[in-house]
Chains A and B, each alone.
Chain A
Amino acid sequence: MRKKLNEVNSGKLFLSGNEAIARGAWEHGVHFASSYPGTPSTEIMETIGKEYPEIDAQWAPNEKVGMEVVAGASFGGARVITTMKHVGLNVAADPFFTLSYIGATGGIVIVSADDPGVHSSQNEQDNRLMGRAAKVVIFEPSDSQEARDFTGIAYEISERFDTPVMLRVTTRICHSKSIVEVGSRVEIPVKGYTKNIAKRVPIPANARKMHSRIEARLKALEEWGCDSPLNRIEMGDKSIGIITSGISYQYVKEVSPDASVLKLGMTNPLPWKLIKKFLDQVDKVIFVEEGEPYLEERIRSRFLVDGKGSELMSVEGELNPELVRKGIKDGENLPLTFGEVALPGRPPTLCAGCPHRGAFHILSKMKASSTGDIGCYTLGLMPPYNALETVVCMGAAIGVLAGIEKAVGRDKMPKLVSAIGESTFVHSGITGLIDMVYNGNTGTVMIMDNSLTAMTGGQENPTTGKNLRGQPAPALDLEKLVLACGVKHVRVVDPHDLPEMKRAFTEEFDRDELSVIITKRPCIMQYKPKRKTVAIHDPEKCVHCKLCVKLGCPAISWDAEEKIPIINEMLCWPNCNLCVQVCPRDALSKDLEGVV
């Protein structure tokens, strides 16, 4: 058995950025962590949960609650961390902006994991702009070692300057691995709670004073930043000076190892004196940063330098060595020996056995669709279902459905339901449902309960009956909750029972009142069947109708020559029999007896 990482007190480990942040938090005496999962940040909390029992860690229903609980724990004198994806900070923005005014009793680190390139998100916002607007300190590590080191420094800075520190990382930092020198945990006593109304109640009279204090804090931090190890000048060829931060620094060193570089590890407040010193020594300036031209605009407007950046590379997507080489070296790129080949795309799909497939299959058959939300079930938009047509943010499936009805009226309402997962419903769908009840909407909300926060890799949530460390916890009863909101018609359906699923949609589409369908079946990640059964196809009975293929199951492909389906035995899911149900001639069969 491998040792838990809390038993490793020195030496080197091969860690992802996320694992390194967890490590940094543990080594620097963090007591408490609360967050909602979100790619690419999720593994920070998972690592804490698995490897570092000294940190009390829990999943919050959403990012806002996570940040509020962490704020309270800081008021109680504990060192704390909360982690989220970039759009998670939008949810937590309310506490975030005011927590900056209030400051930190126990050190506060807020991890914002941005997703340039939109690998698994709905936008690619650059949260350095959020951090600056909230007037908090921003640190940007450029590899796993810095992720660990900067997390440690963040706690010292947070407590010394009485400020939350935002650790801004990106997908390539979170999910890249490199070698990290580690140390042991230093226990920091919890300071305890002391009443301090002037500090923690931002009524206008106090808030004005708090704002003054923040401006002074930023000035002091700016001075600190000029001598800090986080910001450094690496002098080389003086004809070009490159100003960079985060992962972009590594691309610069890769393609232009001899250039002069100003590497900024702290990007708010900016160390103006150090920046001036650098600008004075180089002939030309290039900004290399992923996301918005944040450094470029701030530095150019302050010093009126003629520097370029965003127009040489891009504000869209991720940077990479090719783009940086092209930007720094006047369009030069490595010669390509083999060209790109046009190939069929390989988009993500619902897994074989996925509980969501039944619901989307029926919606699609009924020529109905859904207002969607954030989760695996967003894939309901893909062919062959084409059964999801809007996504805004966590929880919006419900508000959007309500709003369409308000615009077009009940009579002209298209055949739409809200499609929202149970974790997303708890995150921020409940308030939308209350709105529908309160403001007299009709329509149907489908809560797709797969007993897991699945899209982010499978985490527990308040409905699953387990906490972050897998221990028993009270399970929120969605049916009772929905009834308590004032919805009169609630039904629970197994989405793999296709006739029942169809009946549910048919009846609810006809109803002139608001209703909720809870589709309940566990995610395949959650459920490990004891016996392996696969669908068997009988070519004698097959009428070549392709209905099974139209389920969009990755375990079923079509043999165009024989005109029969091929079942991939490795992928076929033991307790699923959707293909058996759709086959009109019993050509598909499955022995489900004894599979629990």
Chain B
Amino acid sequence: MSKVKNVIICGTGGQGILMASEVLCSAAWRSGFEVKKSEVHGMAQRGGSVSSHVRFGDRVNSVLVEKGAADLVLALEKMEGLRWASYLSPTGQLITCDLVIEPMTVNTGSAVYPDVEKVIDDMKIPNLMIPVVDIARELGNIRVVNIILLGAASRHLPEISEENWFKAIEERVPPKALEVNKEAFRRGKAL
């Protein structure tokens, strides 16, 4: 029996985390795995931290990734990846978008936004920093940030074929946006 893959997708409300986790789940299901995912709705949507846990494999029990067992932490916002870094396994990988969304605590001056790159270096966390804003601008669509991130993640998930990723994306984006999303995925994968 193959090991269960543990993925955490995190960021802030309204960034497309739930859509990204739906795409990952669909792609994994299409690849023949049992899939479970968990997220919390409600208060988190009002600009708070949002996270989604996705687990897939031959047999999956818990819907939550255990601390210290995550193969991948995918962060749509720069600081949010750090919040979940303690979940990474010894061989885990962090992938971070370079997009900064300052929380209200920073806006109102009661906290300081950290130097994320420095903290990651100091802690020696294996991280891939993605210049998502630049890539999304080049592609002319800021909404594809989450798909760029999935493209980058796909290199660490060889059990899911590109065909299954594209089918999963196709299910969830309008036909006219399909090509730009596929291109976003390819750009992420090429990083």
Contacts and interface: CB of A to CB of B under 8 A. Distances in A.
Interface string A174-215: 011111000000000000000000000000000000000000
A179 B108 contact: no
Q: Chain A interface secondary structure, helix, strand, loop or mixed?
A: loop
B46 interface: yes
A253 B61 contact: yes
A256 to B, nearest CB: 10
B124 to A, nearest CB: 8
A334 B87 CA distance: 10
Contacts of A552: 104, 107-108
Interface residues of A, number: 58
Interface string A544-562: 0000011010101110000
A344 B47 contact: no
B46 A351 contact: yes
A554 B29 CA distance: 37
A376 B123 contact: no
Given A338-B125, A341-B85, A347-B105, A251 B26 contact: no
A175 B63 CA distance: 10
Interface in A439-468: 455-457
B86 interface: yes
Contacts of B111: 344-345
A558 B61 contact: no
A65 to B, nearest CB: 23
Given A119-B43, A343-B79, A344-B111, A178 B49 contact: no
Contacts of A346: 12, 47-49, 80, 103-105
Interface string B23-60: 00110010000111111111111111100000000001
A336 interface: yes
Contacts of B47: 346, 348-349, 351, 554
B86 A338 contact: yes
A331 interface: no
A321 B4 CA distance: 14
A334 B63 contact: no
Nearest to B112: A344
Contacts of A250: 61-63
Interface in A107-138: 119-120
Contact of A254 (B61, B92, B105): B61
Nearest to B37: A177
Contacts of B37: 176-178
B114 interface: yes
Nearest to A339: B86
B85 A344 contact: no
Nearest to A12: B29
23 contacts: A40-B42, A120-B44, A172-B38, A176-B38, A177-B36, A178-B35, A254-B62, A255-B66, A321-B67, A321-B69, A334-B67, A338-B125, A340-B86, A341-B114, A344-B79, A346-B49, A346-B103, A347-B48, A347-B103, A348-B47, A351-B46, A351-B47, A570-B142
